[in-house]
Structure 1
Amino acid sequence: MNQKKTIIIDTSLKGVSLGLGLQAGDGFECLAWESFFSNHIAAAKLPSLLKNFLQLHEWSLSEVDTILVSQGPGSFTGIKVGLSFVSALGSTQENLEIIGVSPLECLAKWQGKIAWFLPATKTQGYLCLSDIDDRATMYVVDVKDGELLLAREGDRQDTSVDVLGGREIKLLLPWDKLEAVLEQKGLGYQRTSLPVATALCFDAVTGLLTNGQLVRSDELVPRYVRKSAPEELLQKKG
């Protein structure tokens, strides 16, 4: 059976995560993984980080069959850098398959019965959770006036916090405004550190890939809270 050399690139959190593995049929074997943390600087250095990572493991980019790249939600700058870089590779390397993935969606599917929150700004971010059929549902979160407002991604209709359904609540990154509201409502939660969050997302992506259950997209469209985009903030100020 032919094995596809695969690169995984995640820039949805602060920094960059890189992985190498082999795909065969619906299976996947992870060979290497490393994360680089230095806020937006790591994402800006993505080309050199990937080059050094491939050299370290004696891989050549010309031999790679597939690249899985994060399309968000998460860090707006990181997502845009990752997608732009991988798109450029696809335009110069023939037969390179590029697949977009959402690490947050993967995490919700991989670790069911947990409500995963991810901040984008001080008052907005995302919630992702899976249902009984292991389908991940994404919500945009707005923390306003001491209340927690939810709306399905792409839908303006507000949703009750009852969708949490007694799930365990975990925050991929610290989110002070949300934490204050959760505490006010008597809802317990756990906060994860950046290294742990990065590892959890990577494990979820590779786990679903190994089981042939990865949710993937052929459209490399970034997913982000619109008011977190720097150029849109500038337009608003202007």
Structure 2
Amino acid sequence: MVYRSLDSVTVKDVEALGISSELAQEIHKKVTEIVHNYGSATPETWNRISKHVLTPNLPFSLHQTLYYGCYKDFGPDPPAWIPDPESALFTNIGRLLERHGKEFLGSKYRDPISSFSHLQEFSVSNPEVYWKTVLDEMCIDFSVPPTCILRSPSEESLTLNPGGKWLPGAFVNPAKNCLNVNSKRSLDDIVIRWRDVGDDDLPVKSMTLKELQTEVWYGALHLIDIVF
């Protein structure tokens, strides 16, 4: 299907998607204002449309029309969602970049969003530095630390590990890492969130680290009773 650019979409085009005339005019007016302020084919245009025009109740065909109309000449893989700068700072990767961005990227570092592609390149070209920092940030406690982050494959291991071997020699206890308090996690921190199947209308449930420890200990005691 061929989509028209946003500045070419008319009220009739919106109505043709099964939307009432009154609502189509309202949608068209909002889109026109956004295009006037941000252009007809920019990521910010789509960001505004997705936040201020589209809703789950509108036909998916309208979502497609506006999305592909916005990115008509963008090329492959246009962004469907763009985090706002303030939210990006509070993500794990955002915090990592705020602390180590200049160390990793030097003068290339600006902010977590615009510097993300540079970080991706750095992580590939400098796996030892990048992944050691990430593991430290995650407070991963190795029972036996690895001899390195990535060992290049030898002729003997080329078939088994063509891309090399990650964390050679390392031993880690996943349960210990999940249950222990560390510099970034206290007993009162929420560590699990879930919603039971069929309870979509009920609040999301949560469990603190202390509660998780208690549940695990109870489970371990029951296993001991069963075995012994």
Query: Do both proteins adopt the same fold according to a TM-score greater than 0.5, normalized to the shorter chain?
Result: no
TM-score range, shorter chain: under 0.3
Greater gyration radius = 2
Q: Which has the higher helix share?
A: 2
Normalising by structure 1, we get a TM-score of: 0.21
Q: Which has the higher contact order (CA 8 A, sep 6+)?
A: 1
